[in-house]
């Protein structure tokens, strides 16, 4: 039995769960008029409403007790001060340093890391500004019209998500492209319409060894050379963001165009670093600073607000409540702002790569469940796709809803329709529809008693389905920075409570290792028998079919 599941707070939560599990949120709302005031918090432009959750004061108190029992405040300090809390890789976890606005040194391994961070950011901004103002010229003296970021995972999802989210702030005559899939369709579909003379590549890879990225980077380089007939001016068209400067240089990238990241920045937490080069090119230095400022404000809030008023802490505790006591397996993230359409994909990596772990900090298998399956989609699209399951399925899917008070163009007709859905969905999921309500509705529609009886079971909604809503004024860079940081810290808090290391990702290694070996086996037409019969069967079928067609190398 783990310390966690034996802790006083955990046992008390188990008992409390038994008492509250059948209580309907309708009752909770009926009992108190000020439930919204009690269970909502405001941080700058963001309102966090967590009142439509299956909680009462005792739930919150016990969850806070749990956070205190695992010494959460101490862990928060450990992270911010640069202790090597990523113990399996002996690394500090300092994405917060990348947005630190204070004038105080931050010492890691005897060195103040802030000057180097700021220096590197200056270089990023200088390059970005030259490209944005058309001062950066390609090999044939033309300005850049297209920027292609080649990367995957954290070197892709964060920059793509932010660039899409802040689309209104991007330049209209500078197109951003993001290539991640090693499937040739991705890079070739992208390059097909581009002009090498006006295209600039960013090879974004912390390690500079990720197979997918390196294969795509090589294809991009070859495309450039083939089209322009020379390797000479490659430095006018290629840059790299990496912690492996040597490999980037070996690839042929000029030192001036290599931007550093540090091993204390996790890939999925790296959009604030030079990995954000594509973001800075897209939105400009000022907007990028706003993004950092928004995140910094949340960092301050997370570090200093008492736990009971601390938004990421409450977000995390609610997740624990559903995950470990209600045994919810998943959580949905549902942005109602179209510009946040890549946010669910971004959050999937941030959350699932961080907390999808069954081994605790002491190396033991845990006896409780950890990270949920995170999924999501633009809320309106989800309503016409998977919301049926959220409303009437047999699984509880706690959902986060994100919506703006103003959208970018502030068009009343669209926004009213959008927001009416936001409010309606959270209400419907919470209240459901009782038999009595269905009866009255069908009666009013003119159905007879037999018809009503037949339809009744299908029309009833049990409700009691939890949602939390983040309602923000508008999706500007600062607010976006804050939203991302809220989720980063939420993930951290959950990792602390589950006693797992949220900052390594050993689980992605096995597949990579096997793929490397199999890639060798795919070099010839010899049939293989080194695997299980299914894998052998698949590989051999592939080889036979493939041999019927002549393909390019
Ligand atoms: O395979 C997982 C992973 O290591 C992620 O953690 C990371 O964001 C991604 O691959 C890309 O890694 P890199 O930036 O080193 O290419």
B/e letters for 377-397, b = 16+ CB within 10 Å, e = fewer, are: bbbbebbeebbeebbeeeebb
Task: Please give all residues whose beta carbon lies within 6 A of any atom in ligand 1, as ranges.
Answer: 152-155, 205-207, 210, 213, 267-268, 353, 505, 508
Count how many Cα atoms sit within 13 Å of the Cα of residue 265 in the half-sphere of its side chain.
Answer: 27
100-142 confidence digits (pLDDT tens):
999 899 998 899 999 999 999 999 999 999 999 999 999 999 9
Residue with token string 């105080």: 104
Instruction: Please state the rounded mean pLDDT for residues 284-313.
Output: 98
200-225 confidence digits (pLDDT tens):
999 999 999 999 999 999 999 999 99
525 catalytic residue (yes or no): no
Q: Which amino acid residue places its CA nearest to atom 13 of ligand 1? A: 205
Name the pLDDT band for 228 (thresholds 50, 70, 90).
Answer: confident
B/e letters for 302-320, b = 16+ CB within 10 Å, e = fewer, are: beebebeebbbbbbbbbbb
Instruction: Please state the rounded mean pLDDT for residues 465-494.
Output: 98
Q: Which stretches within 42-183 are classed as H helix? A: 57-69, 72-80, 114-132, 157-165
Handedness of CA 136, 141, 143, 149 (dihedral sign): negative
In angstroms, how far is the first alpha carbon of the chain from the final one? 55
Estimate to the nearest angstrom the gap between the alpha carbon of 313 and the chain centroid: 17
CB contact at 8 A, 195 and 232: no
CA of 340 to the centre of ligand 1 (A): 22
Residue with token string 């309106």: 380
Instruction: Determine which one of 120, 164, 297, 353 is catalytic.
Output: 353
CA of 30 to the centre of ligand 1 (A): 49
CB contact at 8 A, 284 and 132: yes
What tokens appear for 174 in the block? Answer: 């500078």
Count how many Cα atoms sit within 13 Å of the Cα of residue 377 in the half-sphere of its side chain.
Answer: 8
Name the pLDDT band for 186 (thresholds 50, 70, 90).
Answer: very high
Residues present in the chain in total: 553
Q: Which residues contact 224 (CB under 8 A, 6 or more apart)?
A: 196, 199, 201, 234, 237, 238
What's the chain's average pLDDT? 96
User: Which of helix, strand or coil describes residue 242?
Assistant: strand
Report the nearest atom of ligand 1 relative to the CA of 154.
8
3 pLDDT above the threshold of 90: yes
Task: Give the per-residue pLDDT at 247.
Answer: 97
> Global pTM?
0.97
Burial class of residue 536 (count of CB atoms within 10 Å of its CB; 0-12, 13-18, 19+): middle
Integer Cα distance of 146 and 197 in angstroms: 10
232 pLDDT above the threshold of 80: no
Burial class of residue 509 (count of CB atoms within 10 Å of its CB; 0-12, 13-18, 19+): exposed
CB contact at 8 A, 199 and 149: no
H or E element at residue 278: helix 277-283
Q: Which amino acid residue places its CA nearest to atom 10 of ligand 1? A: 153
CA of 154 to the centre of ligand 1 (A): 6
Residue with token string 């003296």: 141
521 catalytic residue (yes or no): no
CA proximity to 307, closest of 73, 42, 70, 41: 73
CA of 416 to the centre of ligand 1 (A): 40
CB contact at 8 A, 440 and 411: no
Report the nearest atom of ligand 1 relative to the CA of 512.
1
Task: Give the per-residue pLDDT at 552.
Answer: 73
304 catalytic residue (yes or no): no
429-463 confidence digits (pLDDT tens):
999 999 999 999 999 999 999 999 999 999 999 99
**DSSP strand E in 192-338: where?**
199-204, 238-242, 258-260, 330-335
- Percent of the chain residues past pLDDT 90, beyond the cut: 95
């Amino acid at each position: 039995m783990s310390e966690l599941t034996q802790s006083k707070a955990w046992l008390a939560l188990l008992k409390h769960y038994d008492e509250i599990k059948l209580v309907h949120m309708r009752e909770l709302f009926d009992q108190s008029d000020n439930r919204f005031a009690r269970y909502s918090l405001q941080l700058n432009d963001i309102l966090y409403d967590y009142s439509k959750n299956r909680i009462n004061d005792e739930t919150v108190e016990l969850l806070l007790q749990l956070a205190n029992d695992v010494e959460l405040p101490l862990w928060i300090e450990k992270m911010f001060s640069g202790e090597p809390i990523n113990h399996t890789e002996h690394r500090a976890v300092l994405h917060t340093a990348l947005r630190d606005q204070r004038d105080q040194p931050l010492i890691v391994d005897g060195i103040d890391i802030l000057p180097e961070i700021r220096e590197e950011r200056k270089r990023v901004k200088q390059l970005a500004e030259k490209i944005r103002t058309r001062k950066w010229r390609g090999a044939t003296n033309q300005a850049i019209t297209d920027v292609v970021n080649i990367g995957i995972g954290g070197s892709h999802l964060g920059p793509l998500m932010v660039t899409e989210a802040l689309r209104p702030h991007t330049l209209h005559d500078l197109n951003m492209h993001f290539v991640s899939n090693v499937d040739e369709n991705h890079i070739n579909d992208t390059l097909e319409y581009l002009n090498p003379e006006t295209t600039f590549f960013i090879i974004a890879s912390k390690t500079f060894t990720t197979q997918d990225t390196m294969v795509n980077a090589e294809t991009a380089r070859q495309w450039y050379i083939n089209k322009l007939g020379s390797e000479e001016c490659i430095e006018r068209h290629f840059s790299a963001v990496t912690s492996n400067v040597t490999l980037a240089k070996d690839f042929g990238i000029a030192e001036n165009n290599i931007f550093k990241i540090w091993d204390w920045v996790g890939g999925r937490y790296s959009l604030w670093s030079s990995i954000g080069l594509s973001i800075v090119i897209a939105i400009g230095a000022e907007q990028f600073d706003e993004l950092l400022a928004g995140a910094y404000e949340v960092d301050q809030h997370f570090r200093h607000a008492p736990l009971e008023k601390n938004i990421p802490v409450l977000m995390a505790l609610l997740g624990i409540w559903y995950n470990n006591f209600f045994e919810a397996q998943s959580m949905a993230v549902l942005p109602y702002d179209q510009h946040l359409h890549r946010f669910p994909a971004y959050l999937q990596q941030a959350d699932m790569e961080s907390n999808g772990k069954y081994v605790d900090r002491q190396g033991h298998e845990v006896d409780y469940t950890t990270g949920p399956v995170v999924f999501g989609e633009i809320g309106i699209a989800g309503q016409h796709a998977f919301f049926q399951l959220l409303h009437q399925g047999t699984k509880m899917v706690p959902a986060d809803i994100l919506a703006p008070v103003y959208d970018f163009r502030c068009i009343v007709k669209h926004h009213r329709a959008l927001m009416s859905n936001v409010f309606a969905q959270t209400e419907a999921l919470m209240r459901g529809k009782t038999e009595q309500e269905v009866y009255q509705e069908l009666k009013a529609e003119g159905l007879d008693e037999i018809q009503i009886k037949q339809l009744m079971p299908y029309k009833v909604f049990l409700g009691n389905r939890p949602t939390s809503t983040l309602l923000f004024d508008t999706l500007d860079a600062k607010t976006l920075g804050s939203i991302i940081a809220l989720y980063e810290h939420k993930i951290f808090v959950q990792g602390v409570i589950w006693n797992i290391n949220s900052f390594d990702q050993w689980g992605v290694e096995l597949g990579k290792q096997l793929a490397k070996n199999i890639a060798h086996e795919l070099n010839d037409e010899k049939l293989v028998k080194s695997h299980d019969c299914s894998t052998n069967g698949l590989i051999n079928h592939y080889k036979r079919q493939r041999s019927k067609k002549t393909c390019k190398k």
